[in-house]
Structure 1
């Protein structure tokens, strides 16, 4: 699905308001002076409010993306766009891309 490219300064949260950040930026492609993120990059989550067992199965600690661009690649890897999907571990809930740059889009 098309969307705006995700960069390291994008606001990404878990479903419980935890801040998610990429572990490895992609300096090969930049937007607005900031590196983009490829789909294979894991994210770490801090500040998740989901309670630990036995009340729930949280908090979210990491997240992995499973969808990205289909026509635009960097170093042979798909890039993340605003419509990309991810799942958090151990909760199994999604990441939410709340805000990103709005100048460069990709399919």
Structure 2
């Protein structure tokens, strides 16, 4: 499915509303003046309020991407799109891309 390319300034949240930011970006390719993110980049999550049913905190800590662009690569790695899918560690939930740039679309 086509979607807008994900960049460093995109608003990305875990399913519990914790804020997620890429640890590594691709500095060679920019959209809207900001570096894009490829599938190999892990996201760090801060502020996840998730707790187990027992009340023990179990926040999302990091997330890895399992689905990315099929036709667009940067430095040989698939780029992330607005509809890319991820999995959070240790909860197993995903990330939600709430807002991204709207100028460059990929597939």
TM-score (norm 2): 0.95
Counterpart for residue 60 of structure 1: 60
Counterpart for residue 88 of structure 1: 88
Shift of 1:55: 3.2
Give the 5 Å matches for 1:15-34. Answer: 15-34=15-34
Q: Which runs of 5+ in 1 are unaligned?
A: none
Structure 1 residues 57 and 92: alpha-carbon distance in aligned structure 2, compared to 1, 3 A threshold: farther
Q: Which runs of 4+ in 1 moved over 2 A?
A: 52-57
Counterpart for residue 100 of structure 1: 100
Residues 1:8 and 2:8 aligned together = yes
TM-score (norm 1): 0.95
Q: Contact 1:52 / 1:59 at 8 angstroms: preserved in 2?
A: no
Deviation sequence 1:3-46 (CA, Å, 0-9, x none): 00000000000000000000001111100000000011000000
CA distance in 2, matches of 1:45, 1:30: 23
